[in-house]
Amino acid sequence: MASTYFKLLFNFILFIFTISPTSSHPLDPLTPEELTLVRTIVIGATSNNDTIFHYVALDEPDKPLVLYWLSNPMSTPPPRRALAITRVDKETHEFIVDLSTQSIISDKLVSDHHGYPTLTLEEETEVSELPFSYVPFIESMNRRGLNLSAVICSPNTLGWFGQEKTKRNVKLQCFYLNNGSINYYAFPIDGIWMIANLDKMKIVEYSDRYTKPIPKSEGTDYRFSEQKPPFGPRINRAAICQPDGPGIEIEGHMVRWGNWKFHVSFDARAGTMISTAFIYDEEAQKSRSVLYRGYVSEVFVPYMDPTLDRFSDTFFDAGEYGLGYNAVSLVALLDCPNNAVFMDGYYARFDGLPVKVPRAICLFERYAGDIMWRHTETGISSTTINEVRPDRSLVARMVSRVGNYDYAFDKEFKLTGSIHMEVSLTGILYMKATEYTNNCQIEKEIFGPLVSENTIGSNHDHFFMYRLDLDIDGVQNSMVKRHLVTKRNRNYDTPRKSYWTVVSKTAKTESDAKLQYGLDPIQVLIVNPNEKTRLGNSHGYRLAPASIVHPLLTRDDYPQIRAAFTENDVWVTPYNKSEKWASGWYVDRSRGRDTLAVWTRRDREIHNKDIVLWHLMGIHHVPSQEDYPIMPTLKARFELHPNNYFERNPVLKVIPPEPVTPCNCTASPT
């Protein structure tokens, strides 16, 4: 009895407190010590203390080496290497660093024609301060009667619009803290075109076409302390009770829950990465591979305002800014429930030194009263059968605040074998000032609806591209398009006139796999053609999209050239560890020459190969007044479902939980 008590106590303590990462898996992210070592090695090799580190991450080991280690965990792990993308003397370098020998394996000089690396947070901060000592800007504020100390500026990437040569320039957009409201996005200072160069760290272009007033401040502050009655509705307190202790086991970055085990890591560009996900098949009595690596490869957010002030506002949130760089520390009991476990994240700042993001990722068991499966049977005389199993899932969550938007990224694992990917969008609209206060006054295109007096909420899109390296019972997989085809009834003597049937086609090359969801009902499966059920069906997983969005820009528009990967909802490529980012490695001011759309022009074979599924989801966002002054969450999601992966229902024999007596749960603030 005592041993059981101490075991539960130990699990509870493990569950409540942040889990510290340890290096034991080949795909573990770089530790703070390793980040520091990379810095030392690179600076020592370049003899340049002015080296700027833009992206430092694990140089992913070759996949066969990782798979061999997974099947032989006592073997020597793959070499531990790091990738460091830097700017040295205004040139971009890619360093591959061997951490065991403490040496540089390669130093590749990258042409600026490819684009520039992710902005560092430090240079974003530094460039934002330039206007406050720039005389023309100060004069503009004086003409407007604005207090310079209440002005906030931030850098917006400029994109590419056909220029022969580009520089590391950004546009500075400024806002005003109006009458004590902290919602400065509601008070854009429009009419100013201000361009700064990041390498020279100076303003290189400036013009002021002062035409629009700053909107009024009433009703813009979203802090609860600033709200006025009436209030409501009230959210009653709630907590999750787990008398048997948590169901999550975490060792380093390996997570075990239910029938799942997988690896969770933090990346400065992608945010959360899920790797080497296996599910235990009770019938087969073995662990089976499902997902080798899955993460958000890019987030493309083009705004639909072609005017001089805003035409360049077409952002790549992962490639230009970094979802991990902008990860926030999750708030216990608010961002995550009381049964959550937290993981810290680490990235290298501009000088290469490690930065800790406390509570960057949380993992928690979700029970929302959903049903896993059930049936009530009353057709048998003298008896009623009720069989119900409550649903459970495990969620890995990270929140990234990129400018005015907050994204909550969820990776959810179900006991049924399904994996759900979801993004919750909230934060603050990107707004523009206008002289209009009512729709009846509008006489010209304003590129978005009025969301408040003198305030336009700009029309825009959110495209989320996921890279999903599925390994369905091994690496040899294929992509199957399953068409649901309507047929006339001509063969059977019944009154039925029509029915639908399934016509399946296996994609042989990359061009065969490209797919846009539309009016034709079609299903996408990734299958292992070499592994069959006892009935002869290929083991597989089905993609179940829920948030389909297609680009509405013309294909010759420059932002769309850079984001050509949004032209299909589904792409399939042969595995290539260097093809990680749908928008290319160097996205800032890129020209669309190194993207998923370009790679697939080779039309490589994908049948019975190690393949990668790319899936696009998103939202066309036409703002409304309910989005002001701060947005309730909008959601985009898709699911991966087992399809003949198991011999039968994998949760048929799930052990039902014992009833829990209602209790007062103590919610821990840690």
- For 234, phi and psi rounded to 5 degrees? -85, 140
SS3 of 641-656: EEECCCCCCCCCCCCC
Active site residue 558: no
Q: Are strands 254-257 and 271-281 parallel, antiparallel or unpaired?
A: unpaired
> CA–CA separation, 119 vs 201, rounded Å?
13
The Cα 514–Cα 542 span in angstroms is: 16
Task: Show the tokens assigned to 653.
Answer: 């024999």
The Cα 485–Cα 505 span in angstroms is 13
Alpha-carbon distance of 540 to 574, in angstroms, equals 17
Is residue 9 classed as helix, strand or coil in its secondary structure? Answer: helix
**Contact at 8 Å (CB) between 352 and 56?**
yes
**Annotated catalytic, 107?**
no
d(CA 206, CA 170): 12
CA neighbor of 526 nearest in space, from 432, 619, 419: 419
Strands 455-457 and 192-197: unpaired
Residue among 305, 313, 317, 469 flagged as catalytic: 317
Distance separating alpha carbons of residues 641 and 414, to the nearest angstrom? 10
Nearest to 263 by CA among 235, 238, 295, 223: 295
The distance from CA 467 to its chain's CA centroid, rounded to whole angstroms, is 10
Q: CA 295, CA 293: separation in Å to the nearest integer?
A: 7
316 with 298: CB under 8 angstroms?
A: yes
Which tokens belong to 224?
């609860």
Q: Please, how many CA atoms are within 13 Å of residue 382, restricted to the half-sphere of its CB?
A: 0
Looking at the DSSP bridge assignments, the partners of residue 588 are 116
Task: Give the DSSP H/E element, type plus range, for residue 206.
Answer: strand 202-208
**CA 29/CA 58 separation, integer angstroms:** 6
**Nearest-angstrom CA–CA distance, 656 and 648:** 18
Q: Which of 405, 541, 558, 645 is catalytic?
A: 405
Q: Catalogue the E-assigned strands of 507-630.
A: 522-532, 538-545, 570-574, 611-621
- For residue 296, list its beta bridge partners: 466
Which of the residues are catalytic?
317, 405
